[in-house]
């Protein structure tokens, strides 16, 4: 029997093949999954060419059924987008992305999949907000993430430190947004010091207390007469750096004085240290160029006539009538001048930038930049002795 060409064509047509996975990775037991499968799933679902740092496989049957995978993405710079995507499923049926009522807000920085058959398919956010069961799911997810991070810090500190610079913005955001998560993570927040060593907050406080003890031993007699027990305790100051290049001059002076500082480069750090100060009233963070510490100065004051001359010369040649000038005898004779800005003013300026309050005067909240001149430096001595020299204007501008 002859077969027509048209029928032959029909025979070779392939039936459509389903693209959905009948046994997706998150439904498998963690022991059945390989690292390559996790990475391949991440690339396929989130179209991200950068490999994730690590992941958490959620697998729970009691008191409710919940499975999923949460990936910690690599954030290369503070300017990278850290908005993630967490896909919510019900028995492998997609519901929606980033449902804040089910997934804690700070976890939305991650990427992942969560499958919970007990959730309704038609998600009503108003109903979810008042659902105690949904709150339990959210708390469970938060607990599992905190357990994974604290466990890694305890058992694999080297890996935890290796990942820290990338995951710290996420963890700090979580501590600010979620009190329970913050409580669990408090002892596992790391701060990198000037030597690249990672310290906990307790370590930072202990190091600073050792330095403070040396300073206060000389003032024991003054404190012996204090009887007022209601007086606020002195705060432990932790110095920090935001730009190792721009603040290198201050870093060198700190190193010479045997002092340490921690490196806080991310935009969230300003909010985070304010959060820590609210939690613990005995600590205070100051940027390394917020003020001059006693260890950087020499004993003895500069005479008033020199201070007055230098102030007038700099104000005149810089065209700034209200410029605040301080003249100090610094131990580091190679430093001619420094600019300091009170910590409170800097925080306020950072907040204004964050909320795009550019039209407002940065100095309206009090405190402004201070020009600190080193009385021991040859250039400063030259200006003080030769205020009318033709070279003075150029030196002042520099």
Instruction: Read off the DSSP letter of residue 334.
Output: T
Give the Cα-Cα-Cα angle 135, 137, 138 (nearest 5 degrees): 65
The pLDDT profile of the chain, 398 residues, written as one tens digit per residue, is: 555 555 544 444 444 444 456 678 999 989 999 999 999 999 998 888 888 999 999 988 877 888 999 999 876 555 455 567 889 888 888 888 878 778 888 888 889 999 988 776 555 555 665 667 778 888 888 999 999 999 999 999 999 999 999 899 889 999 999 999 999 999 999 999 999 999 999 999 988 877 666 555 544 444 444 444 455 567 899 999 999 999 998 999 999 888 999 999 988 898 999 999 999 999 999 999 888 888 888 888 888 999 999 999 999 999 999 899 999 999 888 889 999 988 888 888 777 776 665 555 555 554 578 999 999 999 999 999 999 999 999 999 99
Whether pTM > 0.75 for this model: the answer is: yes
Considering only CA atoms, which of 209, 166, 208 is closest in space to residue 190? 166
- How far apart CA 358 and CA 350 sit, in angstroms, is 11
Compute CA 6 distance to the chain's CA centroid, rounded to the nearest angstrom: 67
- How far apart CA 307 and CA 324 sit, in angstroms, is 11
Identify whether the C-beta of residue 368 lies closer than 8 Å to the C-beta of residue 343: no
- How far apart CA 331 and CA 343 sit, in angstroms, is 23
Those residues whose C-beta lies under 8 Å from the C-beta of residue 117, and which sit 6 or more positions away, are 65, 90, 91
Instruction: Read off the DSSP letter of residue 295.
Output: G
CB atoms within 10 A of CB 287: 23
Strand duo 93-97 + 111-115: pairing: unpaired
Question: How long is the chain?
Answer: 398
Those residues whose C-beta lies under 8 Å from the C-beta of residue 104, and which sit 6 or more positions away, are 138, 141, 142, 174, 177, 178, 181
Between the alpha carbon of residue 50 and those of residues 44, 53, 72, the distances in Å are 12, 9, 11
Q: What is the dihedral of CA 344, 349, 351, 356, to 10 degrees?
A: 170
Compute CA 75 distance to the chain's CA centroid, rounded to the nearest angstrom: 12
Identify whether the C-beta of residue 288 lies closer than 8 Å to the C-beta of residue 246: no
Compute CA 130 distance to the chain's CA centroid, rounded to the nearest angstrom: 33
């Amino acid at each position: 029997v002859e077969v027509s060409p048209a029928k032959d064509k029909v025979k070779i047509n392939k039936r459509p093949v389903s693209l959905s996975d009948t046994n997706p990775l998150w439904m498998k037991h963690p022991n059945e999954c390989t690292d390559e499968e996790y990475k391949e799933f991440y690339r396929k679902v989130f179209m991200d060419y950068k490999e994730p740092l690590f992941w958490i496989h959620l697998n729970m049957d009691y008191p409710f059924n919940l499975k999923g995978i949460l990936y910690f993405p690599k954030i290369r710079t503070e300017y990278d987008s850290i908005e993630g995507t967490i896909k919510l499923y019900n028995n492998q049926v997609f519901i929606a992305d980033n449902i804040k009522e089910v997934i804690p807000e700070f976890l939305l920085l991650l990427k992942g999949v969560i499958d919970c058959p007990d959730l309704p398919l038609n998600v009503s956010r108003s109903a979810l907000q008042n659902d105690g069961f949904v709150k339990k799911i959210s708390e469970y997810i938060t607990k599992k993430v905190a357990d994974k991070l604290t466990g890694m810090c305890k058992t694999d500190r080297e890996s935890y430190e290796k990942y820290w610079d990338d995951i710290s913005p996420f963890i700090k955001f979580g501590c600010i947004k979620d009190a329970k998560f913050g409580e669990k993570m408090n002892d596992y927040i790391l701060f990198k010091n000037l030597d690249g060593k990672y310290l906990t907050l307790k370590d930072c406080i202990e190091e600073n207390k050792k330095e403070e003890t040396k300073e206060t031993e000389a003032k024991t007699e003054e404190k012996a007469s204090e009887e007022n027990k209601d007086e606020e305790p002195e705060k432990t100051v932790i110095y920090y750096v935001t730009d190792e290049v721009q603040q290198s001059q201050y870093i060198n002076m700190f190193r010479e004085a045997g002092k340490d500082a921690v490196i806080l480069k991310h935009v969230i750090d300003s909010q985070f240290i304010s959060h820590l100060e609210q939690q613990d009233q005995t600590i205070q963070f100051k940027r390394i160029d917020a003020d001059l510490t006693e260890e950087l100065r020499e004993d003895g004051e500069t005479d008033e006539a020199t201070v007055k001359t230098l102030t007038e010369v700099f104000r005149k040649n810089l065209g700034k009538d209200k410029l605040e000038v301080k003249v100090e005898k610094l131990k580091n004779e190679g430093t001619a001048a420094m600019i300091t800005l009170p910590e409170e003013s800097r925080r306020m300026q950072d907040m204004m930038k964050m909320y795009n309050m550019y039209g407002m005067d940065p100095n309206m909240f009090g405190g402004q930049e201070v020009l600190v001149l080193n009385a021991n430096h040859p250039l400063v001595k030259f200006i003080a002795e030769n205020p009318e020299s033709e070279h003075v204007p150029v030196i002042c501008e520099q």
